[in-house]
């Protein structure tokens, strides 16, 4: 009697497991999307990554392309195309590297001072020096 009871309980757990697997597989609302697996990291980094794009035609980030920025006063916040890129230093220039060659808007901001803003073009493997002198308001 106990032996039959154990077989019955194990059989019921097995049946519930199989039904649970079938329900979870059958409840997908759409086909598999690779972006679900990889998340939205490509859009957060603004890489322009698309599974259908060709790698031959996409611009390439160059680790030796960017800006070397100093400011007076030091400690000013740097924005490249409207996105924060760090803070200037007092002893050494702040380097913003890994950009795609092209045109960028660079803004340097410090509380109580007028913002420094200018457009710069960087070429491949070029580190462009910027010395931002901010004036008091």
pLDDT in tens, 13-43: 666 667 666 555 544 455 545 444 444 444 4
CATH class of this structure's domain 66-133: mainly beta
Residue 124, φ and ψ in degrees, nearest 5: -60, 135
Cα–Cα distance list, 32 to 22, 25, 38, 44, 60 (Å): 17, 12, 12, 21, 29
Alpha-helical segments (H) within the chain: 2-26, 34-38, 41-44
Question: Which tens digit of pLDDT belongs to each residue from 78-98?
Answer: 999 999 999 998 888 999 998
* Closest CA relative to residue 132, chosen from 81, 67, 83, 62: 67
Residue that is written with structure tokens 């795609």 in the block = 100
**CA–CA–CA angle 9, 10, 14 (5° rounding):** 120
Q: Is 0.75 topped by the overall pTM?
A: no
Q: Are the C-beta atoms of 114 and 51 separated by less than 8 Å?
A: no
Domain ranges of the chain: 2-44, 66-133
């Amino acid at each position: 009697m106990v032996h039959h009871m154990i077989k019955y309980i194990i059989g019921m757990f097995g049946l519930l497991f199989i039904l649970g697997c079938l329900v979870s597989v059958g409840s997908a609302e759409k086909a598999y999307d690779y972006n679900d697996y990889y998340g939205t990291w490509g859009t957060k980094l603004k890489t322009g990554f698309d599974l259908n794009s060709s790698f031959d035609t996409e611009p390439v980030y160059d680790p030796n392309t960017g800006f070397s920025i100093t400011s007076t006063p030091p400690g000013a916040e740097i924005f490249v195309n409207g996105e924060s890129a760090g803070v200037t230093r007092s002893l050494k220039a702040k380097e913003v590297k890994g950009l795609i060659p092209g045109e960028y808007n660079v803004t340097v901001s410090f509380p109580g001072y007028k913002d420094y803003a200018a457009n710069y073009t960087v070429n491949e493997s070029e580190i462009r020096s910027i010395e931002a002198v901010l004036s008091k308001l």
